[in-house]
Amino acid sequence: MGLLKTIAKNRRQRKAEIKAAQARAKQEVKSAAKLELHRAKLLSNQEQKLLKQEKKELKAQRKHAKKMASAELARLKAGRFNAKQVMRYSAAIRALAPLLLPLIYKFVVSLRENANKRNVQQLGMVAAETGKQSERANELKNRISEMEKSLNEYGIPAGFKRDAQDRLKQLSTALTNAQHMSSDQQERAHSTISADLDELNKEILAKTL
């Protein structure tokens, strides 16, 4: 009898556990369904908001396009041009063309002549400036050559002589490089070289006295 009671008790417990598990499962399914429904409502609300916003923007774009079209139509009306007027103006232009073409041609020729004169003047100025700088370069080149000769003619200390010869070589190289510069750059370079030669000449004279 005790064994049968135990078996019966165990059966009742298992049934109760199964029942409780089924209840929990139903509750979980119900909760999941509610959550899914809530999520679907949120998505639906967002979609409706987006659609509403798109409709609003589209309406604004159409309104702007209509406004622009109305403004363009008003501008055309204010111009008061029509097909008859265009034809009349075209006929007038064709009638005046034989008289206008010679005047236009003379005007174009005059512009070209003035442009050519300006180009010639500019080229003349450039040529004159180039000649001036070339003459200055030859003058500096002769000065360097004469100073090199003077170093060999006068009794100058050997150390100073070598130093002076190196400086003259550097100035000669700078003078050669200046040939590839613009006129303004050449002028500045020649002035610097001339000043350096003056300074070196003073030092040479001081050593010879």
Under 8 Å between Cβ of 193 and 175: yes
What is the reported pLDDT for 101? 58
What pLDDT, on a 0 to 100 scale, did the predictor assign at position 6?
A: 72
Say if residues 107 and 164 touch (Cβ distance below 8 Å): no
Whether the model clears a pTM of 0.85, i.e. scores above it, the answer is: no
pLDDT at 127: 45
Cα separation, 156 vs 69, in Å, equals 94
pLDDT score for 47: 72
Q: CB atoms < 10 A from the CB of 200, how many?
A: 19
Q: Which residues of the chain have pLDDT under 50?
A: 120, 126-128
Q: What is the mean pLDDT of the chain?
A: 73
Q: How far apart (Å, rounded) are the C-alpha atoms in residues 163 and 167?
A: 6
